[in-house]
């Protein structure tokens, strides 16, 4: 039984060595000063939205794009109504978007829908009419200055850039808060730190931009894995591009509240990480020993080791306990070793979450008591990734749409913020 505990200890040390640099990242925003933007140049943007039965929420996104401070004559909204059976197409057209309807039950997924949409745009507008494109999910809502701020980052010379991802339903329950806190932490203490250190950031699902040159070079949107955002990130990192980050471009995203829905979504993500590693892993390892070292190492750690180490630790403990019971040996030390590792993981994740909550407090739109409580549930949310990953390794996973129902406007979100301040600072 001692060897089982020893293996777990070694795995814990390997995990710490692999991810120690992310603790260093936490300090970067406090010690490295951001550079000012270069002179801003106006650019023409195509907004790409893939929507499947999103009649409840898509109008709010399009309205938030129409209400931008950026010159509206330079922005065109495109929606691909992908295999829709509701009024998504009509609502989008009525809101002012250019809509293309797609019906394809063989090639299912956001990547295929975006490829179809880009092909239609090239057919109708050419491949160089737009300087760059931005991708959003139908449930998103943008701050009024979003495109103006992203244009500053594009003018800085970044061919690809991502933004600050916030949540429009953080306070619904521990699941939505788990997602929301992770994305806030990713924005502030991963992508912002990467940007300050002049290394590559990572695209995360929605709220990102890329130049027309990037997609022309790729021959269209050719990213069809279950996590097309990570695939797109790795593709650009291996091309030697540094993905930028715009901290002042704020996007609000709807997070799942059902554990079953969250399980299915995160299982797709876990399977997608495995797919990305299978396709790009060799290239990442090869380039770790090159001038792309920092970005390639960071992206390698992002997509694989945490999952593999965590699953190996669980399997090692399970096998050790079963063998101990069969051989009638004392399995208590093995279980204690595993529980100690679990406790250490909880404390580490709690600290990571607490730092993000404290520093991003004003950006979390819910009551103070919920902000505090969900900081304690955040480690539990993150640890559920372990069984999710174990299932994803052995199960065939397919893309499934996430149902969105929170039809909230930017004014609704701002109202939450105002009410929160009134509660926390009562007028005498």
pLDDT band, very low/low/confident/very high, at 33 (cuts 50, 70, 90):
very high
The yes-or-no verdict on residue 137 having pLDDT over 50 is yes
Q: pLDDT digit string (tens) for 336-377? A: 888 888 898 899 999 999 999 999 999 999 999 999 999 999
Task: Provide the pLDDT for residue 89.
Answer: 97
> Are residues 176 and 167 in contact, defined by beta-carbon separation less than 8 angstroms?
yes
In the predicted model, is pLDDT for residue 210 greater than 80?
yes
DSSP letter at 34 equals P
Which residue from 42, 203, 192, 67 is spatially nearest to 132, judged by alpha carbons? 42
Order of strands across the sheet with 132-137? 98-102, 75-82, 45-51, 132-137, 208-211, 160-167, 244-253, 141-142
Using the predicted structure, report yes or no on whether residue 59 has a pLDDT greater than 90.
Answer: yes
Per-residue confidence (pLDDT) for residue 79, from 0 to 100 = 98
State the chain's mean pLDDT as an integer.
Answer: 92
Position 426 scores a pLDDT of 41
| 285: β partners | none
Cα–Cα nearest to 313, from 337, 278, 347:
337
**pLDDT score, position 57:** 96
Q: Which helix (H) or strand (E) holds 149?
A: helix 146-155
Do the beta carbons of residue 227 and residue 276 sit within 8 Å?
Answer: yes
- Whether 179 and 256 have beta carbons less than 8 Å apart is answered as yes
> How much is the pLDDT for 428?
34
* Percentage above 90 pLDDT, the chain: 74
Instruction: Using the predicted structure, report yes or no on whether residue 427 has a pLDDT greater than 50.
Output: no
User: Which domains, and CATH codes, for the chain?
Assistant: 1-30+44-417 (3.90.550.10)
User: In Å, what is the CA distance from 138 to each residue of 63, 68, 89, 156, 230?
Assistant: 12, 17, 12, 28, 19
Query: Three-class SS of residue 299?
Result: helix
Q: pLDDT tens-digit profile of 144-185?
A: 999 999 999 999 999 999 999 999 999 999 999 999 999 999
* Residue 99 reports pLDDT greater than 80: yes
- Helix axes of 305-326 and 385-394: crossing angle, nearest 10 degrees: 90
The residue length of the chain stands at 428
Q: What is the pLDDT of residue 64?
A: 97
């Amino acid at each position: 039984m001692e060897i089982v505990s020893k293996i777990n200890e070694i795995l814990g040390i390997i995990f710490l060595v692999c991810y120690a640099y992310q603790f260093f990242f936490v300090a970067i925003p406090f010690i490295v000063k951001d550079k000012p933007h270069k002179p801003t140049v106006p650019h023409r943007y195509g907004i790409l939205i893939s929507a499947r039965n999103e009649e409840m929420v898509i109008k709010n996104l399009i309205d938030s794009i129409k209400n931008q401070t950026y010159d509206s004559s330079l922005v065109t909204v495109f929606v691909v109504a992908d295999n829709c059976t509701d009024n998504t197409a009509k609502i989008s057209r009525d809101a002012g978007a250019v809509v293309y309807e797609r019906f394809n039950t063989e090639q299912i997924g956001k990547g295929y829908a975006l490829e179809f949409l880009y092909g239609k745009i090239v057919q109708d507008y050419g491949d160089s009419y737009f300087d760059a494109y931005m991708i959003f999910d139908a449930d998103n809502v943008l701050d009024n200055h979003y495109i103006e701020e992203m244009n500053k980052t594009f003018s800085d010379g970044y061919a690809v850039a991502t933004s600050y991802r916030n949540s429009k339903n953080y306070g619904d329950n521990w699941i939505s808060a788990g997602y929301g806190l992770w994305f806030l932490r990713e924005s502030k203490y991963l992508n912002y730190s990467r940007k300050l250190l002049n290394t590559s950031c990572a695209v995360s699902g929605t709220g990102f931009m890329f130049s027309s040159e990037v997609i022309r070079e790729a021959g269209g949107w050719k990213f069809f894995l279950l996590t097309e955002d990570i695939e797109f990130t790795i593709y650009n990192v291996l091309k030697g591009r540094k993905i930028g980050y715009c901290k002042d471009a704020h996007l609000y995203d709807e997070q799942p509240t059902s554990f079953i829905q969250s399980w299915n979504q995160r299982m797709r993500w876990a399977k997608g990480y495995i797919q990305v590693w299978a396709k790009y892993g060799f290239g990442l390892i090869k380039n770790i020993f090159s001038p792309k070292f920092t970005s390639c190492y960071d992206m390698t750690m992002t997509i694989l080791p945490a999952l593999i180490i965590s699953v190996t630790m669980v399997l090692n403990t399970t096998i050790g306990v079963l063998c101990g019971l069969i051989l009638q040996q004392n399995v208590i030390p093995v279980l204690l070793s595993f529980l100690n590792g679990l406790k250490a993981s909880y404390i580490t994740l709690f600290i990571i979450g607490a730092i993000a909550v404290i520093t991003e407090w004003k950006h979390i739109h819910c009551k103070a008591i919920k902000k505090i409580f969900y900081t304690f549930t955040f480690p539990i949310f993150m640890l559920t990734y372990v069984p999710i990953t174990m299932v994803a390794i052995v199960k065939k996973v397919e893309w499934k749409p996430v149902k969105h129902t929170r039809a909230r406007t930017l004014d609704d979100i701002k109202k939450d913020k105002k009410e929160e301040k009134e509660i926390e600072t009562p007028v005498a």
